Structure 1
Amino acid sequence: MIKHIRYIFSKDFNPYNNLALEEYLLNHVKEEECILYLWQNEKTVVIGKNQNAWKECKIRELEEDGGKLVRRLSGGGAVFHDLGNLNFTFILHKDNYDLDKQLEVIIKAVKNVNINAEKTGRNDITVEGRKFSGNAFYTDGNRSYHHGTILISVDMNNLSKYLNVSRDKLMSKGVESVKSRVINLKEYNPNLDIDRMKKELLLAFREIYDCELAPIDEKEIVELEMKALVEKFSSWDWIYGRKMEWTYSMNKRFTWGNIDLNFVVESGRITRCAIYSDAMDTWFAENIPAYMQNCLFTSEHILERLNKISVDVKRKDCMQDIKDMVYSERL
């Protein structure tokens, strides 16, 4: 049960520092506490934990314009942040995690500025069918976070300029372009700005959780631990990993997300496997590659390895989709 709610605003617009603080808060959140963290990034593309950086982002254009690329801990797809966007993160222990309650804070805050927001699908908040908030999720042991965007006055031209969004993904959502799918809240309330949104979020947070709201003192944050996390999020290895020339790749979009299965094959055996995906569930990309090591490169043998992987009920259908994709390749 949550007995204490606290909040913190980042004063920094650097994505490496902001994601480092997010993980720091996750590591230190108390058992009966919920933290609301509000932050902004300046000209940044944020990719999901298991995405291919080169495939999702127009890296050269972003860097030439002074932007930054960063990889987050959570799954899901790539997003563009600028100072017209406000990011939120709810940080708490798994036993207290309540997605509907957390989303209600966002929805109530937006409704309080006379905009009729509603939850759509699994992880979007929309106005009149157009998205202003996408959400993603992460769990580490007993601690979890749920974070997302609130588009207030984002430069929509840069959404298309820096992101490589597949046409299949857009069509699966019934739209023709990124810009036609998303909306700035300022279009519905011209007087809305970031500061007003922050105030409304805190008011809604306190009302819905019915607890006294207290700020987090920056003096509580251990500088040495933060420095290590900033180094991690800004490192080449974390953002890009190792760029490989794959021997063979197979890709397909399912209702639960895109999956890109890649192999390096030497002398007929798989020597390296990697999965890139915008799926919210990061489990497949994190667990399947280890089972492919030294496997004979045939559909039959890959399927044998996949059949050895134990999955819970909620992942069973997704695993079957992956097996069907491998079988259809007829390797």
Structure 2
Amino acid sequence: MAVNLGFYSKISSRLIQFVCVFCIVKLIANSFLTPIENLAFEESYFESFNEETLRLWQSTDSVVVGKHQNALAESNFTFCRENNIPVIRRISGGGTVFHDIGNINFSFYRFVNASSQINYQNNLDIIVDLLKTLGYKVMINERHDLTLDGYKISGNAQHVRKGRALHHGTILYDSNTDRLNQAIKRKTGQFEDKAVRSVRSQVINLRNAKDHGPAPSFFQLLVNTAKSKFDHIESVDKIDSALLNKYGSDEWNLGYGPMYSFRNQEDGIELEMQVKRGGEIVSIKLSDDFLNGQLQHFVGLKHHFESISNHIINSNTLSKHADLLIKILF
């Protein structure tokens, strides 16, 4: 009987490749108290890692936008501000995600050739293997999202620079989907820009399919499962202080986005505003003549909440209209 050696050779090659992917990866499992610290660590470690690494981590409530997105357009900024949910920009591209303790994050740090991008499939095979070990029949779709029964449980993004690649993504285990939907869906105003838009998908929590207890218990179970597959495990917590300042600043989180026009309406008053890249307001027009005259002083200011709100509150005239102006401007 003839044997198709080519078939077995391909299977063997894929098995060897998969095993080697596990062998070369170092595991770290560290989570910081704030989203700013978690995102700052991502970039800090990216700039300094000397071994290919998988990081597993959790973060508290935050909206995390892609590098080339308009943060105000991708978030319900008013809801986030009222609920102390920071809106933070990451260094990778892609769309907006919501982090909370019910969401587990993974980050792969890889070395790549100058001409190549990161291999999503190899990395996601590792995550799929971990989740299948825990009883979840997770699949990888054509967009490299992880899905369960057709619903999205994970999205991914990457950043490549000088032979280094960061590939990170989410795993929805027990995320507060109501809070998620409120935080990332803007309800008022219209933006016109050339920013990257998020692709919204129907999502599901893994806990709905199989319950491994509360999110901290699942996270530890996932870490323990990963530990059984990796020999090199470390604890790393060093963060460049300059990056902490960067991820806590409006200059990065709001100002890095593209130029845009913004239209909004509140209590019968209409707003039209032009903002250039970096966040500086270049023109502003309100249908109310009195307020329109007062707000001409905002030309040249940054369309950042702290900057604008401070000017409103510190003005004897504008402070009387503070609630209206904050709503219409953001």
Question: For 2:259 and 2:234, how far apart are their aligned partners in 1?
Answer: 48
CA deviation after TM superposition for structure 1 residue 194, in Å:
3.9
Q: Tell me which residue corresponds to 1:89.
A: 107
Q: Aligned to 1:149, which of 160, 166, 170? A: 170
Give secondary structure in 2 for the equivalent of 1:181: coil
CA deviation after TM superposition for structure 1 residue 197, in Å:
4.0
- Map 1:180-329 onto structure 2 (within 5 A): 181-192=202-213, 193-200=215-222, 203-204=225-226, 207=229, 212-218=231-237, 221=238, 226-241=240-255, 246=260
Question: For 1:156 and 1:248, how far apart are their aligned partners in 2?
Answer: 28
Give secondary structure in 1 for the equivalent of 2:33: coil
Give secondary structure in 1 for the equivalent of 2:155: strand
Q: 1:181-221: per-residue Cα shift (whole Å, max 9, x none)?
A: 000000011225444344435645764xxx62221344xx3
Question: For 1:230 and 1:89, how far apart are their aligned partners in 2?
Answer: 19
Q: 1:198 to 1:138 in 2, by over 3 A?
A: farther
**Which residues of structure 2 form unaligned runs of 5+?**
1-19, 188-198, 264-273, 279-330
Q: TM-score, normalization: structure 1?
A: 0.63
Question: For 1:156 and 1:88, how far apart are their aligned partners in 2?
Answer: 19
Give secondary structure in 1 for the equivalent of 2:25: strand
**Which residues of structure 1 form unaligned runs of 5+?**
167-176, 250-263, 266-271, 275-331
Root mean square deviation of aligned Cα? 3.2
Q: 4+ residue runs of structure 1 moved beyond 6 angstroms?
A: 242-245
- Counting matched residue pairs gives 234
Q: 1:76-99: per-residue Cα shift (whole Å, max 9, x none)?
A: 111111110011100121149432
Q: TM-score, normalization: structure 2?
A: 0.63
Query: Which residue type is aligned with residue 168 of structure 2?
Result: H
Query: Which residue type is aligned with residue 58 of structure 1?
Result: N
Q: Tell me which residue corresponds to 1:60.
A: 78
Q: 1:221-242: per-residue Cα shift (whole Å, max 9, x none)?
A: 3x5xx21111111111101117
Question: For 1:206 and 1:139, how far apart are their aligned partners in 2?
Answer: 29
Give secondary structure in 2 for the equivalent of 1:92: strand
CA deviation after TM superposition for structure 1 residue 243, in Å:
8.5
Question: For 1:153 and 1:37, how far apart are their aligned partners in 2?
Answer: 19
Question: For 2:126 and 2:119, how far apart are their aligned partners in 1?
Answer: 11
Is 1:80 aligned with 2:98?
yes
Question: For 1:247 and 1:154, how far apart are their aligned partners in 2?
Answer: 33
| Contact 1:41/1:81 (8 A) holds in 2 | yes
Larger Rg: 2
Q: Tell me which residue corresponds to 1:8.
A: 28
Q: Tell me which residue corresponds to 2:45.
A: 25
